Amino acid sequence: MSRPLFLVDALPGVGPFVLDGPEGHHAADVQRVRPGSELLLSDGAGGVATATVAGAGKGRLDLAVTTSARLDPPSPRLVVAQGIAKGDRGELAVQAMTEAGVDEILPWAASRSVVQWRAERGHKSREKWAATAREAAKQARRPFVPAVGGDPDVSTRALCARAAGAFVLHEEADVRLSQATLPAAGDLLLVIGPEGGISDEELAALVAAGALPVRLGEEVLRTSTAGVAAISVLNVRLGRW
């Protein structure tokens, strides 16, 4: 089994380090990591360190950090505007896309989103997406935790401001994502509609802003699975997988 990864506020250098707080509790009391075990530490922003457990106590681990380095971020960045979905489908999408390598997630307040994020509820929902991304990054041993943008969500107008060169998943598109020309650097934005799909008005606005409608195959996927399927295609095309 690969070494577990725990997130820290600041990446330590080589030498002794104490892992405590929520991550220390999870490591020592939940996963019951014991002396002699090896693990990874990350600040979620590309920093990664390897460490050996020297001692374990209640809610903490005494570590000996052996290596500490910072990785370059991937390029192009995979950014997904995910239409807000009802129930746990949005969180399922965030979890799967994070494990597959998404770099940023934008909760999109699409016109056909059954659920709309309003006031305090919206901020709590966004925080839940961010927590889901954080836990999924740990599960996948990723040194980069995807950012969840929006305040708390992103409007269609704001999305159009970033849509130049973007791809919009749409079942009636003629171009397949597997054949579309990809950018060499910068952000690669992928737009995914909610359960009811993308409205004609939204599609027209995105296309006018420079986006290209694309499709995966003949099947119509759920909003919770379309993103991870598209990212998988892009990972192969970009040489990440």
For the record, the structure tokens of 22 come out as 């929520």
Residue 105: exposure state from Cβ atoms within 10 A (0-12, 13-18, ≥19): buried
Q: Are residues 43 and 92 located together in one domain of the fold? A: no
Q: Are residues 66 and 81 located together in one domain of the fold? A: no
What are 68-116's pLDDT values in tens digits?
999 999 999 999 999 999 889 999 999 999 999 999 999 999 999 988 8
Q: Are residues 64 and 81 located together in one domain of the fold? A: no
How high is the pLDDT of residue 78?
98
Q: How far apart are CA 218 and CA 13, in angstroms?
A: 50
User: What single-letter DSSP state applies at residue 172?
Assistant: T
Amino acid at the residue 59: G
Q: Are residues 32 and 130 located together in one domain of the fold? A: no
Q: How far apart are CA 67 and CA 17, in angstroms?
A: 12
Q: Are residues 49 and 90 located together in one domain of the fold? A: no
Q: Are residues 225 and 138 located together in one domain of the fold? A: yes
How high is the pLDDT of residue 119?
76
Residue 140 has pLDDT above 90, yes or no: yes
Q: Are residues 108 and 170 located together in one domain of the fold? A: yes
- For residue 53, the enclosing domain spans 5-70
Consecutive H or E run containing 174: none
Amino acid at the residue 131: A
Over residues 122-128, mean pLDDT: 93
User: What single-letter DSSP state applies at residue 40?
Assistant: E
How high is the pLDDT of residue 31?
93
3-state secondary structure of 159: helix
Residue that is written with structure tokens 């849509």 in the block: 163
pTM, rounded to two decimals: 0.93
How high is the pLDDT of residue 87?
84
Q: What is the CATH number of the domain that holds 116?
A: 3.40.1280.10
Q: Are residues 159 and 224 located together in one domain of the fold? A: yes
Phi then psi for 109, rounded to 5 degrees? -85, 75
Over residues 147-176, mean pLDDT: 95
What are 183-199's pLDDT values in tens digits?
989 999 999 999 989 99
Consecutive H or E run containing 226: helix 223-237
| N residues, the chain | 241
Residue 24 has pLDDT above 70, yes or no: yes
Q: Are residues 46 and 155 located together in one domain of the fold? A: no
Q: What is the CATH number of the domain that holds 26?
A: 2.40.240.20
**Whether the Cβ atoms of residue 184 and residue 204 lie closer than 8 Å to each other:** no
Q: Are residues 15 and 37 located together in one domain of the fold? A: yes
What are 217-229's pLDDT values in tens digits?
999 899 999 999 9
**Whether the Cβ atoms of residue 7 and residue 145 lie closer than 8 Å to each other:** yes
